[in-house]
Structure 1
Amino acid sequence: MPAALADVLSSIERLWPAAGAEAWDSVGLVTGDPRATVQRVLLTVDAVGETVDEALEWGADLIIAHHPLLLRGVTTVAEDRYKGSILARLIRADCALVAAHTNADVVERGTSAVLAQRIGLVDARPIVPSAGPGAAEGHGLGRVGRLAQPTTLGSLARQLAEVLPPTATGVRVAGGFDDPVETVAVCGGAGDSLLGDPAVRAADAYITADLRHHPASESREQSRLGGGPALLDVSHWASEWLWLDAAAAQLADAHPDLELRVSELRTDPWDFQVVQ
């Protein structure tokens, strides 16, 4: 039996409260009528042409995307522009779009928590706990914990490559292949803003995405002076894609009659890499 979009939105708010989003973020309903009904829901990291094609060909009534389509200022929704084209197609097809971004990062089963669980971290806790009125215990950015069995940096990198979906850039590592690793910090998505956090500095290794040259270089140089983590840089898309299965399971519990599909289309922007 179809569910009211308004009811699904209520479940989304309960699972990933908008109040948990960063101030700069844009989450929630992007397009769609809350009075409409929903039967089929596609979950994806990015609302791009290919994933919208997949949703509409399947007959989806709702797309839940991790990344907001309208995060930055938009002055036109003309259909010769990427975002305008996406919105026009969704509106014509009566397919709603919801963004669950940093509000889905900080929860107990959020992007970083799922990544931490998949690599076997135990006693994981947020790197930066959520603060302020109404902040829930255990919520926050990133996760840091310890491996049940200590390993080496090379073995951790190989494990990570097996856990994540394949991408052109794979797993880049800064550190010695045989260096011992027990405490690991993770942050799904772009995480170089956390490189200076004490919990990250105290870890043996830090897994995140989109590490830029200067922050990564400065972190490694500081490590030579006073300790710090080895770095494992992965695809932004891949680091967050793992969360989609957990999100679908939570929605299925709330709405057993919904048909849910996790998109397996790779929306990582890179197609191939030439290694010198």
Structure 2
Amino acid sequence: MTVRIRDVVAALEAAYPPELAESWDAIGLVCGDPQAPVQRVLFCVDPVESTVDEAAEWGAQLLVSHHPLLLRGVHGVPADDPKGRLVHRLIRAGIGLYCAHTNADSARTGVSDALAEAIGLTVTGPLNPHAAGADTGLGRIGELAEAEPFERFVDRVAAGLPTTAWGVRGAGDPQRPIRRVAVCGGAGDSYLAVAAEAGVDAYVTADLRHHPAGEHVARGDVPGTEVPALVDVAHWASEWPWCQQAADIVAAALPDTVEVLVSTRRTDPWTTHATGANRDPGRTLA
């Protein structure tokens, strides 16, 4: 049986229906012939130089990424432009590129399900469902087998995700018991209020900004008001578990016909981290 790019795309779109994508998104086959044979498929978060290198070195005919390469409108892909250069490299190497973004975020099972599984949660439903009673939507709510202190939960998150310079940060009482948790792979500060309304003990997401996070925590200072503790992780790390999920979907749909590989190239943009621990102890801040 000759597997073609179109067959891999069909398997992915059965799991991550294109109609679940947000209207502004740019998903689907970016380059490559749907009729082209494929024996190897590489899965990654970001379609960047290092993952294209990996695809070429491994001999893949298709690269599947979570993030789109051409999210905003373009009028050309010249080879002296960073993204245009990637398109040229992919075409010359005979490698197709397929992107599953917000459709993979909202699908059941999708990006946030993979994140929940990585940190040991049993998913009970979406954080922000598409409609009442729907099992699709952004984010997930899940539960731990038993409650544990917040500081231990933060360690759990760090242990379940790949290490990055960004690290894992927590905001909340270290001894607060955590059992019911909301997660949202990728940038999720727009769902802080939704997580609070859901009554979860903690909310795990990426790219939390200073002001939204600070205002969220301050609401918990009001007597009689409780808000979820926050766990902030690197954007890339929060979405990387999805790569294995997507690879497993293709492997199950096309057994014994294609090889799948999850990229281990760390494409998080942050490369160094400093805590200030060696700062002159005599220096203080007002």
| TM-score, reference length from structure 1 | 0.95
What amino acid sits opposite 1:164 in the alignment? L
- 1-side partners of 2:196 and 2:137: how far apart? 13
Counterpart contact for 2:44–2:65, Cα < 8 Å = yes
What amino acid sits opposite 2:24 in the alignment? W
Offset at residue 176 of structure 1 (A) = 1.6
Counterpart contact for 1:170–1:235, Cα < 8 Å = yes
Q: Corresponding residue for 2:80?
A: 80
Offset at residue 138 of structure 1 (A) = 1.4
SS at match of 1:161: helix
Question: Is 1:156 the counterpart of 2:144 in the alignment?
Answer: no
Q: Which runs of 5+ in 2 are unaligned?
A: 277-286
Deviations 1:176-217 (A, max 9, x none): 211111211100100001011155551111000000111111
After superposition, residues 203-222 of structure 1 pair within 5 angstroms as 203-222=200-219
- 1-side partners of 2:179 and 2:93: how far apart? 50
Counterpart contact for 2:11–2:249, Cα < 8 Å = no
Counterpart contact for 1:200–1:206, Cα < 8 Å = no
Q: Which structure's CA Rg is the greater one?
A: 2
Q: Corresponding residue for 2:242?
A: 243
Q: Corresponding residue for 2:118?
A: 118
Counterpart contact for 2:115–2:242, Cα < 8 Å = yes
- 2-side partners of 1:180 and 1:200: how far apart? 18
Counterpart contact for 1:194–1:200, Cα < 8 Å = no
Moved over 4 A (4+): 198-201
Change (3 A) 1:114 1:233: same
Change (3 A) 1:2 1:260: farther
Root-mean-square deviation (CA), in Å? 1.6
After superposition, residues 138-153 of structure 1 pair within 5 angstroms as 138-153=135-150
How many aligned residue pairs are there? 273
Deviates more, 1:32-41 or 1:119-128: 119-128
Q: Corresponding residue for 1:194?
A: 191
| TM-score, reference length from structure 2 | 0.91
Offset at residue 109 of structure 1 (A) = 2.2
Q: Which runs of 5+ in 1 are unaligned?
A: none
Q: Corresponding residue for 2:232?
A: 233
Question: Is 1:52 the counterpart of 2:56 in the alignment?
Answer: no
Q: Corresponding residue for 1:177?
A: 174
